[in-house]
Structure 1
Amino acid sequence: MESEEKSTNIRAGATLDNPDLSFLQPTVGAFFAEYGWYLLLISVALYLLVREVKKRRANRGHNDSVSDSVEDTAAVVRRQEALEASRRRMQEELDAQAAQYKEKKQKIEEEKRKQKIEMWESMKEGRSYRGNARAAENADEASTSTVVKPKKDKKPLRSTGYNPLTGDGGGTCSWRPGRRGPSAGG
């Protein structure tokens, strides 16, 4: 019974205050109003810093394995050797193409030189050198092109002496001036 009396005395006599944190609300609100953006930027920077540190730790742990690094170096060496071999092949092909181009150019220059010599000799003899050059060109063209273009007959467009400036002979078509006023449209 005594315990019941004590509990009722405590209940009736002293009211306990609810220990809440409402007294901190104005000070914390003022602090966040004043320094909120700074706190946000600092927290983002800390987040990014922690993330970067974790990445570096993971990479350091990955690089510590010796067998992985040996395999990686061997793969890198193989890749570099393959790249060097492909470069060598490409250079050889380029050199071969350059040699073929030089040969063709030399042949063309030799032919031109021979033609000049022939023209000079024909001029010495008193013959026309242009006829020989044209004959050589026609022979080359005949050997390269087999398509013969037919000659077109050139006929006058109108045999009646049509003159568009006079307005005569135009049939039903005649020039009319454009409409005056603003253009139609909207």
Structure 2
Amino acid sequence: MDDVEITDVDDNNVPYQAEKTLPKNQDLSDFSQFAAEILSHYGWYLLILTVLLYLLIQHLTKRRSRQSSSSQTLQDAALVARRQEAMEAARRRMQEELDAKAAMFKEKKEQQEEEKRRQIIEIWDSMQQGKSYKGSTKLSQTTEEASSSTKVLKPKSNKKTLHSTDYNPLTGQGGGSCTWRPGRRGPSSGG
């Protein structure tokens, strides 16, 4: 662009030129000069002060987190202790139940043993007197089973099957006068 000339009608034709200058903010320039002056004189001190302040903040945050974690650890320890006490109480209850069942089983076992001893004595007495003991034994066994047995036993079946005899035609045992045995396996040993 060309330079612009502005003429004033009142000023006897004297040309007027506009100045091209950048506007300056006086407030910022004063602040930047002040900051530069402070940094030039006290820069190292400010740097060390900033680092120390940072380290102090880090130390305080770690200390606070340790205190909160220690209080949380105490709460966790109390919770663990309560759980262990509850488990111990449950174990004691279970052990007491088991001991009671064992005592009942031992009592029943002793009663059965006493009943067996009594039967043996009765058999011995009946044998001394010359009486048969088989009939009384069966009678006493049925009464013992009815009185002391709490579980139902399955009756044994005496059904005879075809294989109940000891006859096996391949081995030649039982069931006839003929016997057949298979020959030896493998090559014959000869000399």
Sort the TM-score into its range (normalised by shorter chain): 0.3 to 0.5
Considering Cα pairs closer than 8 Å and 6+ residues apart, tell me whether 1 or 2 has the greater RCO: 2
Report which of the two has the higher share of helix. Answer: 1
TM-score (norm 2): 0.45
In our comparison, the structure showing a higher alpha carbon Rg is: 2
TM-score (norm 1): 0.46
